[in-house]
């Protein structure tokens, strides 16, 4: 009876939740069934609406979330036109192509109406309807803007089109959509999935250590991949956490305004409870990220220790008799022990003296072999390094490291803030970077100019920092960065580097592209 109860409970009570999970797939298959046989007498029957749908959703995710740009029909028309011409080799006029794109876009929007998903609820014994939209629109200043919905993002994520290393960032984008839609309960589930991804990274750290203990070369490769992924995630997650926190505060203010307006105290308290629970989960996520940072630093130390031991082991000049004895015992060949014992038991004690040395003894003239010291008046100069020269060498070396890392990040990302740069420095050099006075001195010298042209800098130095860069950079480093030009913009916000200690934020942007 208990088994029957569990069976019927699983079928009846969970049916609505299963249908709710399935509904986000419904628009895709509806669109997939949409053929082009009736459009223009079947001229475009070879087009694949499923591929076009997934490509369009990926385009909206990229524009809305990664580029933080609102999409107009003109922008979407440019994207889909290139896709149709490139992938389906359409050879039609611009007017016909734009008309085709408009037809496809209307299908994606379902002519501005939601897709209706009908199902039977066995618990309430009645049919129910769910509404799903992939694309929604808004009008501002007479212009229409389009954005992807929460259901659209959730469906695209379930298709596994997003790479594994982007899971945490994509979950953050889905959380942003949930907060925009005031779906705080759904946002809590998203944050829990983010926490699961962070925990997965902590487990991966143990796998890296296990690989290092077995194979140093393979472990070093896995370690480098892990560190690159973590560094990239830290930079992305920090921005997204701040953004979602601001969205939660805005939603809370809106809920308070509605409550004062008399739209329902009960609804307000329910929203307040969901927001509080969401904030609690976000705090857990931030704590886990901080824990992951410390574990990453610990992994860095452990890796260095293992690699150092491996190097010493390979270079060890000592013969291990115990290890060789164990190998001989495993082989079961006692005769090979003679190679180990012969040098010890049979020393060569016979001494010989060649007769040819007799001539040298008879003709030896000690006075001829004496080399007398020649005294001269020359004064030998001692190589003495003054304390200020030691300090200068340290400053030059530190400034070079900081400058190289800054130029490399600007070269990769084209634009980076001091907040992001601090996170990268913390991973590369540890939290001790914030106690290094040379780092703050470097920032002060860096702000003496608003624009840096590396090519001109190598030819003529205007500041103390310019001189260090020109003298310390080797030929390869000069060739890598000589064509770069970047500017500095001082921000109004403050960046906390240590407890009670803040500095102004700086934006670095490459302008030679």
Higher-confidence position of 237 and 131: 131
- C-alpha triplet 90, 25, 174: angle, nearest 5°: 95
pLDDT higher than threshold 50 for residue 98: yes
pLDDT higher than threshold 80 for residue 195: no
pLDDT digits (tens, 9 = 90+) for 467-480: 888 888 888 888 88
Q: What is the DSSP string of 268-326?
A: HHHHHHHHHHHHHHHHHHHHHHHHHHHHHHHHHHHHHHHHHHHHHHHH-----HHHHHH
Higher-confidence position of 172 and 98: 98
Q: Among 149, 184, 219, which residue terminates a domain?
A: 149
Number of domains in the chain: 3
Percent of all residues in the chain with a pLDDT value above 90, rounded to a whole number: 2
Based on the fold, state whether residues 116 and 176 are members of the same structural domain. no
Asked, for residue 340, whether it belongs to a domain, the answer is: no
Asked, for residue 374, whether it belongs to a domain, the answer is: no
Q: What is the DSSP string of 218-236?
A: HHHHHHHHHHHHHHHHHHH
Q: Among 287, 316, 345, which residue terminates a domain?
A: 316
pLDDT digits (tens, 9 = 90+) for 16-44: 777 877 888 888 888 887 667 777 777 88
Based on the fold, state whether residues 170 and 308 are members of the same structural domain. yes
pLDDT higher than threshold 50 for residue 511: yes
Based on the fold, state whether residues 254 and 283 are members of the same structural domain. yes
Q: Are strands 126-132 and 501-510 parallel, antiparallel or unpaired?
A: unpaired
Higher-confidence position of 42 and 109: 109
Nearest by Cα to 105 from 78, 130, 138: 78
Q: Are 476 and 377 in contact (CB under 8 A)?
A: no
SS3 state at 5: helix
Q: What is the pLDDT of residue 378?
A: 53
Q: Among 275, 292, 316, which residue terminates a domain?
A: 316
Based on the fold, state whether residues 66 and 96 are members of the same structural domain. yes
Region 39-66: mean pLDDT is 84
Asked, for residue 383, whether it belongs to a domain, the answer is: no
| 92 φψ region: left (φ > 0), alpha (ψ -120 to 50), beta (else) | beta
Percent of all residues in the chain with a pLDDT value above 70, rounded to a whole number: 66
Region 471-500: mean pLDDT is 83
Higher-confidence position of 77 and 22: 77
Region 265-272: mean pLDDT is 67
Euclidean distance between the first and the last CA atom of the chain, given in angstroms as a whole number: 73
Based on the fold, state whether residues 78 and 176 are members of the same structural domain. no
Asked, for residue 354, whether it belongs to a domain, the answer is: no
Question: Beta strands of 63-202 (E only): which ranges?
Answer: 115-121, 126-132, 135-140, 143-148
Q: What is the pLDDT of residue 2?
A: 46
Based on the fold, state whether residues 51 and 172 are members of the same structural domain. no
pLDDT digits (tens, 9 = 90+) for 141-189: 888 899 888 788 778 877 764 444 445 555 555 566 666 666 666 666 6
pLDDT-based confidence at 243, cuts 50/70/90? Answer: low
pLDDT-based confidence at 463, cuts 50/70/90? Answer: confident
Based on the fold, state whether residues 145 and 193 are members of the same structural domain. no
Higher-confidence position of 77 and 193: 77
Cα separation of 184 and 254, whole Å? 14
pLDDT digits (tens, 9 = 90+) for 329-360: 888 877 777 777 776 676 666 666 666 666 66
Based on the fold, state whether residues 200 and 109 are members of the same structural domain. no
Cα separation of 137 and 64, whole Å? 12
Cα separation of 503 and 215, whole Å? 43
Helix axes 265-315, 216-260, angle to 10 degrees: 170
Based on the fold, state whether residues 506 and 407 are members of the same structural domain. yes
Give strand pairing partners of 501: 498
Q: What is the pLDDT of residue 78?
A: 92
Q: What is the pLDDT of residue 88?
A: 87
Based on the fold, state whether residues 181 and 311 are members of the same structural domain. yes
Q: What is the pLDDT of residue 317?
A: 53
Q: What residue numbers bound the domain in which 239 lies?
A: 162-316
Query: Dihedral of the CA atoms 169, 171, 176, 177 (nearest 10)?
Result: 130
Q: What is the pLDDT of residue 264?
A: 56
Residue 231: CATH number of its domain:
1.20.58
Asked, for residue 356, whether it belongs to a domain, the answer is: no
Q: What is the pLDDT of residue 75?
A: 92
pLDDT-based confidence at 197, cuts 50/70/90? Answer: low
Q: What is the pLDDT of residue 114?
A: 85
56-70, 290-304, 426-440: segment of lowest average pLDDT: 290-304
Based on the fold, state whether residues 46 and 184 are members of the same structural domain. no
Based on the fold, state whether residues 143 and 168 are members of the same structural domain. no
Asked, for residue 61, whether it belongs to a domain, the answer is: yes
For the chain, the average pLDDT equals 76
Give strand pairing partners of 495: 503
Cα separation of 305 and 146, whole Å? 53
Helices (H), 387-487: 387-413, 418-429, 437-446, 454-459, 464-472, 475-481
Asked, for residue 500, whether it belongs to a domain, the answer is: yes
Q: What is the pLDDT of residue 163?
A: 44
Q: What is the pLDDT of residue 347?
A: 62
Asked, for residue 488, whether it belongs to a domain, the answer is: yes
């Amino acid at each position: 009876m208990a088994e029957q109860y569990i069976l019927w409970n699983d079928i009846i009570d969970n049916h609505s939740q299963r249908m709710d999970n399935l509904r986000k797939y419904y628009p895709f298959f509806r669109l997939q069934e949409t053929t082009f046989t009736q459009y223009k007498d079947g001229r475009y029957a070879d087009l694949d609406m499923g591929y076009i749908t997934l490509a369009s959703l990926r385009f909206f995710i990229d524009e809305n979330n990664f580029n933080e740009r609102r999409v107009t029909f003109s922008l979407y028309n440019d994207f889909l036109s290139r896709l149709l011409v490139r992938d389906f080799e359409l050879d039609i006029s611009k007017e016909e192509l734009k008309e085709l794109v408009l037809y496809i876009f209307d299908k994606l929007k379902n002519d501005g109406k939601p897709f209706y998903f009908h199902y039977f609820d066995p618990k309430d014994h009645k049919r129910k309807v769910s509404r799903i939209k992939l694309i929604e629109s808004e009008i501002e200043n007479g212009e229409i803007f389009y954005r992807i919905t929460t259901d659209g993002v959730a469906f695209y994520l379930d298709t596994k089109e997003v790479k594994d290393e982007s899971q945490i960032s994509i979950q953050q984008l889905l959380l942003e959509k949930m907060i925009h839609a005031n779906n705080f309960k759904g946002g809590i589930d998203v944050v829990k999935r983010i926490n699961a991804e962070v925990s997965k990274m902590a487990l991966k750290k143990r796998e890296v250590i296990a690989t290092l203990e077995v194979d140093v070369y393979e472990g070093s490769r896995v370690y480098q991949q892990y560190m690159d992924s973590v560094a990239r995630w830290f930079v992305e997650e920090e921005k997204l956490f701040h953004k979602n926190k601001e969205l939660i505060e805005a939603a809370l203010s809106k809920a308070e305004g509605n409550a004062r307006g008399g739209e329902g105290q009960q609804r307000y308290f329910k929203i307040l409870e969901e927001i509080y629970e969401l904030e609690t989960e976000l705090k857990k996520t931030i704590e886990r990220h901080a824990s992951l940072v410390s574990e990453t630093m610990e992994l860095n130390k452990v890796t260095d220790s293992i690699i150092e031991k491996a190097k010493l082991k390979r270079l060890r000049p000592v013969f291990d008799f115990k290890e060789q004895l164990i190998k001989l015992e495993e082989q079961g060949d006692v005769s090979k022990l003679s190679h180990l014992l012969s040098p010890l038991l049979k020393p060569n004690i016979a001494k010989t003296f060649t007769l040819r040395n007799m001539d040298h003894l008879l003709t030896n003239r000690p006075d001829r072999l004496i080399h007398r010291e020649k005294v001269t008046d020359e004064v030998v100069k001692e190589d003495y390094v003054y304390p200020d020269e030691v300090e200068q060498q340290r400053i030059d070396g530190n400034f070079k490291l900081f400058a190289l890392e800054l130029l490399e990040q600007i070269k990769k990302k084209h634009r980076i803030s001091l907040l992001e740069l601090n996170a990268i420095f913390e991973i590369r050099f540890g939290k001790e970077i914030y106690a290094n006075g040379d780092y703050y001195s470097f920032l002060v010298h860096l702000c003496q100019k608003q624009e840096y042209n590396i090519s001109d800098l190598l030819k003529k130095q205007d500041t103390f920092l310019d001189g260090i860069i020109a003298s310390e950079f080797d030929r390869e480093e000069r060739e890598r960065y000589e064509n770069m030009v970047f500017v500095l913009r001082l921000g109004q916000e403050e960046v906390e580097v240590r407890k009670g200690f803040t500095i102004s934020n700086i934006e670095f942007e490459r302008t030679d592209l």
